[in-house]
Structure 1
């Protein structure tokens, strides 16, 4: 993999060329910025920008005014290679709050097509209905110790509106949900996004995380996707590096609340 070439492709397809996440959402391009305006309960934010030092502050102020006019909290999804180099500081000065930085990691789908299976007694199940979503949310709450309402709403909405755009999975030990993950598929791109992979503490280190990646990679390959993309936490980055994923840049959510 050519890292610079792959990162440029990711910027073109997934950021500058972003698609709306739902039928009632929209993507707008204005003043060197690509922003996403979510539908009911959806995500609002800036996905990509092409700014210079002279115009950055004005562009930031324009987005603040726009989303404030809608009464919406929004996220500026800042990547480590974005210009100008002090964009993060400019966002902070404008009233944004930075959340923990993650690492954008890319793997080639073909490299993940391995015979990785969960441990004995654990099976991976596709989530296709509300009952399955509840199992997925329960596993997510165990893994991350946080409320899973946002995940519930997101998966239910995507399954209802466009089930081909999401692959949702839960790992069950008997009838107990112990891990979950999802994959987002955007037609016309070469990237499948891996999201939400998390395992209950008592079940970590047994290969479930790896099995969930391999399971999603097989589906992505069958549907013609060449790359797998992950926004990796410090906890998952070393695991993904061992599996052949390459760190290409950092990504930091900057949040503005009107």
Structure 2
């Protein structure tokens, strides 16, 4: 892969050309910034910025004013190749807090293994309704130790309003949900996105996460997507690298509470 060219392609399609995540969301261009604004349970934040040392502070202040007026806390998703070089320090000085750094990784969808390789007794089930979403949230809460209520509501909204743009799957062991994940399928894009992949502690290390990646890769390839992209946590990065994913850059959420 030509990493520089692929990173530019990613930025053009998924950041500059971003589509709203779900019903009620809107993507807006505000000068050198692209942001998404939506309901309180939606993801609110900055998707892209093209800033220099002379306009960065003003742009940061403008986004704070915007989201304060909307009454929403928000995220500035900072990529490792974004400028200016001290943008992270400027965000911290403006009152943001940094979350854990992740690695943006990309792979050709058709290059991944074709079979899931699930452990005995585990089956995959497509998530299409409220009952399935409840299982996804249950797994999320156990796997990550955070409240997945808003995530579940966003998923249910998208399944109802735009089912062709998202696919979710849950892994069941004797009927009990033990792992779950989501696949974003943005229209008119070469990139499908892997999100929210998690496995409860007792079932980790048995290949289920890997199986969910290959399962979603097959769906993406069947629907004509060339690439899979994922913000990989340190725990998942080695698994993805072994599957053939390549690192493009880093991503760090900078969070602003209102």
TM surpasses 0.5: yes
> After the TM superposition, which parts of structure 1 deviate over 3 Å for at least 4 consecutive aligned residues?
none
In 2, Cα distance between equivalents of 1:40 and 1:59: 22
Counterpart position of 2:202: 202
* Partner Cα distance (2:124, 2:157) in 1: 22
Question: What is the alpha-carbon distance in structure 2 between the residues aligned to residue 73 and residue 254 of structure 1?
Answer: 11
The alpha-carbon deviation at position 114 of structure 1 amounts to 2.3
CA contact 1:109–1:228 (8 Å) conserved in 2: yes
Cα pair 2:42 2:150 within 8 Å, conserved: no
1:32 shift after superposition? 0.6
Greater mean alpha carbon deviation, residues 152-161 or residues 89-98: 152-161
Cα deviation code 1:135-188 (max 9, x no counterpart): 222222222222221222121111111111111100001111110001011011
- Residue in structure 2 matched with residue 221 of structure 1 by the alignment: 221
Alpha-carbon distance, 1:256 to partner:
1.1
Q: Give the deviation of 1:202 after TM superposition.
A: 1.5
Partner of 1:70: 70
Alignment length (residue pairs) = 258
Q: Deviations over 1:91-141 (max 9, x none)?
A: 001111111111111111011142232111100000111111112222222
Q: In the alignment, is residue 129 of structure 1 matched against residue 132 of structure 2?
A: no
Distance 1:129 1:51 in 2: 42
Does residue 37 of the first structure (1) align with residue 42 of the second (2)?
no
- Mark the runs of 5 or more structure 1 residues left unpaired by the alignment: none
Deviation track 1:35-58 (CA, whole Å, cap 9, x = no partner) reads 111135212111001111111111
RMSD of aligned alpha carbons: 1.1
1:24–1:40 contact (8 Å) kept in structure 2: no
Could you state the TM-score of these two structures normalised by the residue count of structure 2? 0.97
Q: Hey, what's the Cα distance between the residues in 1 that align with 2:203 and 2:32? A: 46
Report what 1:255 is aligned to. 255
C-alpha distance in structure 2 between counterparts of 1:96 and 1:232, whole Å: 22
